[in-house]
A = this chain, B = another copy of it.
Amino acid sequence: MPNDELEALRQRLAAFAADRDWDQFHAPKNLAMALIAECAELVEHFQWLSEEQSTALDEEKIAAVRLELADILIYLVRIADKLDVDLLAAARDKIAINEARYPVDKVRGDARRASEYEI
């Protein structure tokens, strides 16, 4: 059973593209590029800030960042739609994998790349 609001978003984005005849551009390859470009706009907001500054953005900055997050969700929902992936089910599956991969008693307080842990 799909998530109602995400499903509504998926449908609205599909209609947005169809209305503009943009499905011809929306191959997953291209949408992956658009998605990473949007992420980079988010990264740009933070690149010269300290970690601490990034936790306390002013109102103007947070408004801009909020719309970057929106762009990322939009392209993520769009590519998942094109690939027929249920995002929420996928996320649940991935969290279960992560819970097994990073057991609490082993990784507590220690964040590294997965590849850096000896399995």
Q: How far is the CA of A35 from the CA of B43 in the complex (A)?
A: 9
Question: Which secondary structure dominates where chain A touches chain B?
Answer: helix
Q: How far is the CA of A115 from the CA of B20 in the complex (A)?
A: 18
Distance in Å: Cβ of A4 to nearest Cβ of chain B: 8
Within A65-106, the residues touching B (CB, 8 Å) are: 65-67, 69-74, 76-77, 79-80, 82-83, 85, 87-88, 90-95, 97-99, 102, 104
Some 23 contacts from A to B, beta carbons below 8 A apart, are: A12-B95, A22-B109, A28-B57, A32-B45, A33-B33, A36-B40, A37-B40, A40-B41, A48-B112, A48-B113, A62-B85, A66-B83, A66-B90, A66-B93, A67-B90, A69-B79, A69-B80, A69-B85, A70-B90, A70-B94, A70-B95, A72-B76, A73-B88
